[in-house]
Structure 1
Amino acid sequence: MSTTESPSLFNDLETLSTRQLLEGINSVDQTVPQVVARALPQIEALVEATVARLGAGGRLFYIGAGTSGRLGVLDASECPPTFGVPHGLVVGLIAGGDTAIRKAVENAEDDAEQAWRDLTAYDITDKDIVVGIAASGRTPYVIGGLQQARQHGLATGCIVCNADSQVAAVAEFPVEVPTGPEFVTGSTRLKAGTAQKLVLNMLTTATFIRLGRVKGNKMVDMQLSNAKLVDRGEKMLMDELGIGQDEAARLLQQYGSVRAALAARQ
């Protein structure tokens, strides 16, 4: 049995008070960063491979099912507003299609051929990299997609939460974060999902810093899509250039981005 499916270390959950439930969940959650830390060498290798592919004009694709697929879609959707990269540079694909983001699609993850069909709809090439996300490490949708990707010369990676899994075996750059039994037996949206989210944060954040999308510690390429982000952009310019808010607002409006405004004044 996979460790993510092994019995919870807690019993009779329905008899516990709210405080006891929260303390139990919190106690097991604290183990997740330690597991991720042990996987840093694997994460480093995956980041380096991703930087190389994106730097050469390729794209990053995530494939996954259920919670894992939703996390990939989430990470992909946050890259354009955060780093100012084009939509389509990072793509999240989920078994069952976009409907499955909000509602489970029965048996979608069991089709080992569908992921490659989903990928080919994007005119995928050997410049791209495909990362499979699967807590169990045995999802047919992910296994099949990675196998086909490797056969067609693409770089492949994965994020799994069980050791020695089928998914890791077919990925060139596997990341294994074995999170162990869940608080509620088998509910991998809990610890496993948290671990996957942490790794995804690292993957795209480190990749786009390496590709020059952050200056100092600031998101100078972020999209100024709402009042909060415009205010953040103004503060960046005020800090970097030593100017007042009115001047920062004028520069931001004139040049359209923090990076462009800084380049014009420095």
Structure 2
Amino acid sequence: MSSAPTWDPQIYLQHTDHRTRPFHDLLERIPQLPATGRPARIADLGCGPGNVTELLARRWPDARITGYDSSPQMLAAARTREGGTPGGGHLHFARGDIADWEPQEQYDLIVSNAALQWVRGHAERFKSWLEALPPGGVLAFQVPGNFTSPSHALLGELCDSPRWRARLADQGRRYVHILEPAEYLRWLTDLGCTADVWETTYVQLLQGRDAVLDWVRGTALRPVLTTLADDPEAAEAFVAEYRDLLRAAYPEGPDGTVFPFRRIFAVARKPA
């Protein structure tokens, strides 16, 4: 059994507009960073292929920004964006696993986009991350909150069905480690922060045949595909079963497939 999913940047970047919209909304709520007399220092945890890391450089054009990710495939894609930025800042990408990442310097902003859900007990990491911020520094993140929706519930049930249980066990649910908004608020305020926590459900209209299957191929389905990578016939059979379940749960309409997607957001500011 694989310990971590193998990522495909090209598949992940499908539906880019829908995937990046929550980060735009998060970015708009991040307040002014503390005045330190130097360009802002920013860490992007779980940066993936680096597309949202570039958005940080647009907001803070002179900042020194490092994106961290544990996937070699994602880092290879991200590093094509590496280098100086038009505003005099710099983008850099490095290997780092959120589960044990510790700041080695002071950051003004630590941000994570749709990555913390893969890390068990990630709220326990907040304390050390906040300690790396100066007064007025910011921790901001967003995570998917749709793990009880049909797309994920059906995946978990299929993995646990008699045909697949022995091989896939809890693969459909093993990477789901989110908290509810009130729990994030409590964690962050208990650490002394001023916190803004909210949730949004985006009612997305996806295009193409089996659009929801295409969506989850880039995220929730990755652990299963990684586990079955050495057995293409089994992988094809599993995907066919899952596809049929998704077609029934998310019927395609004349204008596309409606796919509601809940997201949870948090912006925490360290006391000045």
Given the two structures, how large is their TM-score scaled by the length of structure 2?
Answer: 0.36
The structure that has the greater radius of gyration is 1
Higher helix share: 1
